[in-house]
Amino acid sequence: MLDKISLTLTIIGAINWGLIGLFQFDLVAWIFGGQGAIISRIIYTIIALAGIWCISLLFQDKSGVRSDSGSNRNDMAA
């Protein structure tokens, strides 16, 4: 669950950076009252922490993940 939340926040941060790079428009600052506003700084910090958490996703072992696409047919046949 934390992985999905972190990925979602990181994507939001990436979109915000895209807006800054393409249009010089900071959506977080616009919504929360400027870059210096305390709520904006909190949002930036939360997104940064989510990005740091996502680094751990690069090193997760994926061998424990199984596909459910074919397992239901085999279970029903038995």
Contact (CB, 8 A) for 47 and 12: yes
- The pLDDT value recorded for residue 61 is 85
pLDDT tens-digit series, residues 45-64: 999 999 999 999 999 987 76
In a domain, 34, yes or no: yes
In a domain, 69, yes or no: no
In a domain, 20, yes or no: yes
In a domain, 45, yes or no: yes
Q: Domain range for residue 32?
A: 2-59
In a domain, 7, yes or no: yes
In a domain, 46, yes or no: yes
pLDDT tens-digit series, residues 29-43: 999 999 999 999 999
In a domain, 18, yes or no: yes
Average pLDDT, whole number, for the chain?
Answer: 88
| Closest of 57, 55, 47, 53 to residue 14, by C-alpha | 47
Contact (CB, 8 A) for 26 and 16: yes
* Residue 17 reports pLDDT greater than 70: yes
In a domain, 71, yes or no: no
Domain count across the chain? 1
